Amino acid sequence: MTEVYIAGVGQTKFGELWDRSLRDLMAESGISALGDAGMEKDSIGGIFVGNMSAGRYVGQEHLGALAADSLGIHAEASRYEGACASGSIAFRNAIHAIKSGHMDAALVIGVEKMTDVRTPEAVMTLAAAGDQEWESSIGLTFASLYALIARRHMHEYGTTREQMAMVSVINHGNAVGNKYAQFQNPITVGDVMNSSVISSPLNVLDCSPITDGAAALVVVSEKMKNKIERPVKVLGSGQASDTLALHDRQSLTEIQATKLAARKALDQAGLKITDINFAEVHDCFSINEIIAIEDLNFCRKGEGGKFVERGGVSLNGSVPVNTTGGLKAIGHPVGATGVRQIADITRQLRGDSHNQLKGVKYGMNLNIGGSGATAVVNILGVDE
């Protein structure tokens, strides 16, 4: 079975992009990734689009064909949906297509255009990624669900509001200088604590924003590796599921799908979690980064808040997390996030990140759909 490599990455600015359409975002990111790879569009055997809800946000379905049309690539093209994990699911399907020998080069695009509807409509569209019958139909938004998770974590482990606020502070600091980020301003713990309450204990600065944007990857087989200047190797990929409704979980303070997906990816890569030098994790809300680093075993269960407080996830910490700003500061165009995470890991491993880490060899992303019903983990490494 052939090895898979990332040959190029591309990304639009993330933010409230009033002057660009969904079509524009897909084309811009795809062209950028092809240019970064130094490849012509005729070499692409398939297009894999990650998107959660373009039909509800902008009234557009059939995104595979839209991407192919926009880019002038007359290859097979399909859309993949897994809520906020849609981008990573599209990436996994591209990996499988290449590993199977079906094609030697694929273009992965993650995209979402969320600001063309009013905020209440955007929030309810996101809520559709939960259990409609038990959650969204009675008004439970994702901020509400993660607030329940946060309260339980605080109760069981003594996690503090200040520790959750520190997640946002660190990620905003990492986004300073990131030209793609929606927010490039530093914030303080006081700023987070004093910001408007969304769903207690989560305030507005604990929450990732509503965002427009796209990111893209060119993925190739081993046959094409020598044509690429700085290839990054895909070492492992895992995906798992948990219950859709939060009340059916065994625990509110852990996400079983994360643990299962990580185990699959690490086994495939032949690595241990202690081998991972840095990670991009799904910080849709500040509490989720704390739970993510626990579920990935970067720290012990219940000690995520303390790990953040003592700087474990900082750029000079034992496991730098969200080194370019995370969902909180870069923005969270839901279908694009997983692809953006993988693009940022690729830049770190190639040595051209705006917050470049020294001597990194292995990077991991965790992309979560909904409140944890879907989790995808990918591991990338420096090609040797």
The pLDDT tens digits of the residues spanning 152-191 come to 999 999 999 999 999 999 999 999 999 999 999 999 999 9
> What's phi and psi for 370, nearest 5 deg?
70, -140
Same domain, 311 and 347: yes
- Look at residue 360 and tell me if it is in a domain: yes
| Closest by Cα among 114, 108, 22, 11 to 62 | 22
Q: Which H helix or E strand runs over 236? A: strand 232-241
Total domains in the fold of the chain: 2
Does residue 124 lie in a domain region?
Answer: no
User: Do 154 and 89 lie in a common domain?
Assistant: no
Nearest to 11 by CA among 303, 205, 212: 212
pLDDT, residue 168, reads 98
Residue 227 reports pLDDT greater than 90 = no
pLDDT score recorded for residue 383: 81
Tell me what the mean pLDDT of segment 306-331 comes to.
Answer: 98
**Which of 197, 232, 267 finishes a domain?**
232
Same domain? For 261 and 312 the reply is yes
84 is catalytic: yes
Catalytic residue among 84, 207, 284, 299: 84
- Of 172, 282, 332, 354, the catalytic one is 332
The average pLDDT across 185-210 equals 98
Residues 6+ apart with CB under 8 A from 227: 7, 38, 39, 220
Output the domain CATH number for residue 114: 3.40.47.10
142 and 18: one domain? no
Is residue 149 domain-shared with residue 239, that is, in the same domain? yes
Pair 38, 76 in one domain: yes
pTM: 0.98
Domain range for 195: 131-206+235-382
**Please, what is the angle between helix 86-99 and helix 337-350, to 10°?**
60
pLDDT above 90: residue 228: no
Statement to judge: residues 241 and 222 lie in one domain: no
Amino acid letter for position 231: P
Confidence of residue 226 (pLDDT cuts 50, 70, 90): confident
267: phi then psi, degrees, rounded to nearest 5? -60, -45
- Confirm whether 123 is domain-assigned: no
pLDDT at residue 5 in the model: 98
Based on the residue annotation, tell me whether 102 is a catalytic residue of this protein. no
* 1 confidence band (pLDDT: 50, 70, 90): confident
